[in-house]
Chains A and B, each alone.
Chain A
């Protein structure tokens, strides 16, 4: 029998809520979010740091949570798609994706929303090229991205970040 893996205590804040847990050192951040905290809005697509479906913000910067260990988030702050809406009202970026039909099947949408959020937080008025570069780490297999660009432009014009 292999020895049981020692668990590591971590503390982190997710969408403003504090959590204290004990996790296996090998646990990925995306699995912590989905399995331990039941925040299943963050999706697992490729599991190889390619597709960006699992994008979340860790301490204010976007990362692919399939390539971050849960222990990396110790003492940290995480923002997931569940943390974008406030008081039952969609975040302006979410509203723009809805208004401009910036999705089809929706699988990549949580990651695209977080990448758009990161982009507009750092650069409230991005050029077309900057939008493309900003979301180049997020793969969508349905839409061809045109409506995603429209949604991000609309969110930027509305001052929505």
Chain B
């Protein structure tokens, strides 16, 4: 509102609905209240069950922003440079909404319509985000490349792999942030890994496909060519980390600074 991106006639503050802030395990899924702060996800032992969620929460902006910003707010704003969209698009995620016509469960893949535009109807609220816990032999990584803590990333890449065995990939989900009007799923990059051994050659093929799928705009953060190169490098690195994690290796990773 300060930047005049929106000038609402009325403003309804949801912040005092404390019941909308929680992280819970429910069978094979994790449930997040829409008003859960990034810092609460960062500190949550329950959220650690999906390491990529902790990586994302712990790296968003800085301490003060993580203390105030919420998961639901980030998704509902649908900023093209938001961190949660690419991360959650690599997982099986549903957005639970509530409005005058009742409740809906929207797959996150159908939630983002355009930049700053979601599938939420005008009087509809995002209430809960439900993320399925990936099966065994899965691993993920989220890498966001930033110039310094409080800024949006220049480019980000989320990768989630489920392996058949130590070498062969069963399912690959990749999402690119900051390089399109919404987060982009580079399907060719996913196909370059699925059903194949995750060799250096396959990783490079996936990175090349991700680079081609990116739709970056030139701005003060970098040129189109720079951002494409960044996407390729981040994709390679994220696949390698996701692969190591799928084998049970502990890899500490967070947002990367220039």
Contact = CB atoms under 8 A, between A and B. Distances in A.
Given A49-B150, A50-B150, A136-B148, A62 B13 contact: no
B46 interface: no
> Contact residue range for chain A?
20 to 34
A42 interface: no
A156 interface: no
Contacts of B151: 50
- B contact patch SS: loop
B2 A118 contact: no
A62 B2 contact: no
A28 to B, nearest CB: 8
A61 B39 contact: yes
Interface string B33-69: 0000001000000000000000000000111110110
B150 to A, nearest CB: 5
Contacts of A134: 63
Nearest to A46: B150
Contacts of B2: 47-48
Interface residues of B, number: 18
A138 B11 CA distance: 29
A52 B64 CA distance: 8
A71 interface: yes
B149 interface: yes
Contacts of B64: 49, 52, 55, 62-64, 115, 137
B68 A136 contact: no
Contact of B67 (A51, A63, A119, A139): A63
Nearest to B149: A136
B149 A64 contact: no
Given A48-B2, A137-B149, A72 B63 contact: no
21 contacts: A26-B11, A47-B2, A48-B2, A48-B3, A51-B150, A52-B150, A61-B67, A62-B64, A64-B65, A64-B68, A115-B64, A118-B63, A133-B149, A136-B62, A136-B63, A137-B63, A137-B65, A137-B150, A138-B62, A139-B148, A139-B150
Interface of B: 1-3, 11, 13, 15, 39, 61-65, 67-68, 148-151
